[in-house]
Structure 1
Amino acid sequence: MLRIHFTGADLAHTRIAVGPDPMWELSLSAHQLRLRGSNPFLDGWKRQVVHRLHPSGPLRARVALTLAVTPPRGYFPDFLTPFESIEGFHAGLEAVLSTPSARLNHELSMLDVGDRSQTPVIDDLRRSQPTAIAALGASMRDYHETAIAPSWDTITAAVEADRSRRVRDLADGGWAKLLNNLHPSASFKGDTLEVGRWGYETDRDLHLAGRGLLIIPSYFKEQRQLMVLADGDLPPVLLYPIDLSARLAVQAGHDSLVALIGRTRADVLEATLLSETTSAIAQRVQISLPAASKHLSVLRSAGLVNSTREQNAVRHSITPLGEKLLAGSD
């Protein structure tokens, strides 16, 4: 059982994150990618990412280090989810790559590396070798670009929908109602949040000691448990999986957009959020190049997409009208 002990000062400094945390979502999505049957709402995302990370493709090798340091079960290093990432992915990644040498060595020494091909570079990371740190940064950027960035609007919409529910709980019944409703395994009694054996099989006490708690809703968090950092001396955070109703609300909105312009065209429109070329969009949506060109032409004629030529390629970006349409679908 996990017990989180609050004081009055802690409750005064406890807050809910305003949106998804990119570094937590990166690490937890890497877990989900290798877990079977854990969340049916992630099946579509998983199929797309697995396709992009085909074992024989170049991307798989480039993200292998990220996958190696985020095993789907057991411990993964706290330094991968820095507090600074509340400011965004780039701030979070900079904090990861600036981790002090002693902490890198300590946390990576506890990691069970499943992919033995990555052991040499992880050993170099433990020694804070600049080439290894640069390799980790490149790998995490590639993984983020492949698995997180294309779905970021959906992730954000679902997290915001869940956060709205938590704010209502707080308004209706204070912190007791919010904490009691976070997860079936959680129970707030007196000044202690208890997370039962469903979430934690060993006893652990976390004393906030006036630091407060940052509660982070997560799109990719596994449903069966809550999560805290392994190191109790770090700024305290509590990760919880967003509620099913938030996922359903976002899915219903996307289904409305699909009904309006068709599933493939909706996926093409969403892909233009990344301002990519025609061939990149075709690959991302898994359609032929001529089909992608046709869909983009229709979207451009409707004022939803802008297209600009860059040497031998055409790059497409979503217009404000297109953004409003996507936002309405969320």
Structure 2
Amino acid sequence: MLRIHFTGVDLARVRVAGRPDALWETILSFHRLRDRRDVRLFGEWRTETRTRLNGETRLLGALIPARGYFPDFLTPVEGRYGMELGLDAVLGTRAHRIRRETALLAPAGQQLPTRLREFHEGGPQQLTRLATELRRYHRAAVEPYWTHVQAQIEAERAARGRALLDGGADELMSSLPPMMRWRAPVLECDYPVDRDVRLRGRGLLLQPSFFCRRTAVTLQDPELPPVLVYPAAAQLSTAYPREMAARPAEEHRYRTLGKLVGHTRSVVLRAIGDGATTSELARRAGVSLASASQHAGVMREAGLVTTLRHGNAVLHTVTPLGAALLRGGAVAS
């Protein structure tokens, strides 16, 4: 179990990331690629990704074990601002940090495997090779699905924001997925090892992730800015659309976009705003509860809306595609 200890100052400084982190999604997707579980969600994605992968990933395989620790320098804070900025930060990693963190990958009482030892001692050329592998892998495994990943993280943020507005920081922490349990002032998380993290007034960034599964993930180095990466609840919801689970979003969107015509659905899409439950949506759009649910379902199939469960209700949020259509007036009658 992972136990994260909060002070009152830490609780006031909890933030929920507003976008996916490119490097965390890339590294965690590499775990999913080698994992045979969650076939319903990731089976087709694995097949499509392996078909596109024609580059070298042996260094990634050495640095990212199937389970357990992987070096913190693979996920710098710059990754939340995009893949290229994240890779620039990886390329700037100091040699002493590379040696310290890769040394932790050695089996107990043994030397590092040959490939890791070469990286450990290789200097800038090895970092360039790593950045090249990461970029190629990201383009094959993550980039084609990025709009869908982004929609899931934005929906998760909307749900956590709703919890914060409804009940404050305590409600926010209590609303996190079931593998995390808020027992104030400690957040307990399912975790591969027993560990305590003390925030010491620095607060915590909650980073929802599409490719994170089952357990939350945090950095090994307690001196780095605290971050907790956890599975976005949207992918765990019964409202999650199976047919969009592991495919590039565009393929499904354009098959169903033709359903989305007429003034009423334009009004309903606009009424969702920054997020709305079905009841709120019906009230804002001036339609019945059943009609609001039906219209939201069609727009979810078209990739314009994401739906996830929030307590006893469901919360609808507009995806990037839906927002783009609204900005361009493409959904008007």
How much has 1:133 moved relative to structure 2? 1.3
Out of 188, 199, 213, the residue aligned to residue 208 of structure 1 is 199
Specify the alignment match of 1:27 in structure 2: 27
**CA shift in 2, pair 1:163/1:27, >3 Å:** same
One-letter code of the match for 2:216?
L
- Given that residues 80 and 86 in structure 2 are in contact (C-alpha distance below 8 angstroms), is that contact kept between their aligned partners in structure 1? yes
Q: Does 1:226 align with 2:216?
A: yes
**CA–CA distance in 2 between the matches of 1:179 and 1:39?**
30
Specify the alignment match of 2:15 in structure 1: 15
Specify the alignment match of 1:311 in structure 2: none
What secondary structure sits across from 2:142 in the alignment?
A: helix
Deviations 1:83-105 (A, max 9, x none): 12122111111111111111101
- Cα RMSD (Å): 3.0
**CA–CA distance in 2 between the matches of 1:163 and 1:98?**
31
One-letter code of the match for 1:241?
P
Out of 250, 258, 262, the residue aligned to residue 255 of structure 2 is 258
TM-score of the pair, normalised by structure 2: 0.69
Q: Which moved more, 1:4-13 or 1:244-253?
A: 244-253
**Within 5 A, what are the aligned runs for 1:98-247?**
98-111=92-105, 119-195=113-189, 199-222=190-213, 224-243=214-233, 244-245=236-237, 247=240
What secondary structure sits across from 2:197 in the alignment?
A: strand
- Given that residues 158 and 247 in structure 1 are in contact (C-alpha distance below 8 angstroms), is that contact kept between their aligned partners in structure 2? no
What secondary structure sits across from 2:208 in the alignment?
A: strand
What secondary structure sits across from 1:72 in the alignment?
A: coil
How much has 1:26 moved relative to structure 2? 0.5
One-letter code of the match for 1:71?
P
Moved over 6 A (4+): none
- Given that residues 25 and 218 in structure 1 are in contact (C-alpha distance below 8 angstroms), is that contact kept between their aligned partners in structure 2? yes
Specify the alignment match of 2:36 in structure 1: 36
One-letter code of the match for 2:224?
L
How much has 1:190 moved relative to structure 2? 2.4
**Within 5 A, what are the aligned runs for 1:80-95?**
80-95=74-89
Q: Which moved more, 1:130-139 or 1:211-220?
A: 130-139
Deviations 1:268-303 (A, max 9, x none): xxxxxxxxxxxxxxxxxxxxxxxxxxxxxxxxxxxx
Flag structure 2 segments of 5+ consecutive residues without an equivalent.
260-320
Q: Give the paired residue count.
A: 256
- Given that residues 41 and 242 in structure 2 are in contact (C-alpha distance below 8 angstroms), is that contact kept between their aligned partners in structure 1? no
**CA–CA distance in 1 between the matches of 2:182 and 2:79?**
28
**CA shift in 2, pair 1:31/1:234, >3 Å:** same
Specify the alignment match of 2:50 in structure 1: 50
**CA–CA distance in 1 between the matches of 2:80 and 2:65?**
23
Q: Which moved more, 1:29-38 or 1:43-52?
A: 43-52
**CA–CA distance in 2 between the matches of 1:37 and 1:203?**
24
- Given that residues 121 and 132 in structure 1 are in contact (C-alpha distance below 8 angstroms), is that contact kept between their aligned partners in structure 2? no
What secondary structure sits across from 1:127 in the alignment?
A: helix
**CA–CA distance in 2 between the matches of 1:45 and 1:173?**
37
How much has 1:77 moved relative to structure 2? 0.8
Deviations 1:43-79 (A, max 9, x none): 22111001223xxxxx24x222223212221111111
Q: Does 1:248 align with 2:245?
A: no
How much has 1:39 moved relative to structure 2? 5.4
**CA shift in 2, pair 1:185/1:260, >3 Å:** closer
**CA–CA distance in 1 between the matches of 2:19 and 2:120?**
32
- Given that residues 10 and 209 in structure 1 are in contact (C-alpha distance below 8 angstroms), is that contact kept between their aligned partners in structure 2? yes
Q: Does 1:68 align with 2:62?
A: yes
- Given that residues 5 and 207 in structure 1 are in contact (C-alpha distance below 8 angstroms), is that contact kept between their aligned partners in structure 2? yes
One-letter code of the match for 2:57?
V
**CA–CA distance in 1 between the matches of 2:157 and 2:106?**
34
**CA–CA distance in 1 between the matches of 2:231 and 2:114?**
34
Specify the alignment match of 1:298 in structure 2: none
Once the two structures are aligned, what percentage of the paired residues are identical?
A: 40
Q: Which moved more, 1:44-53 or 1:23-32?
A: 44-53
One-letter code of the match for 1:235?
P
How much has 1:128 moved relative to structure 2? 4.4
Flag structure 1 segments of 5+ consecutive residues without an equivalent.
54-58, 263-319
- Given that residues 68 and 192 in structure 2 are in contact (C-alpha distance below 8 angstroms), is that contact kept between their aligned partners in structure 1? no
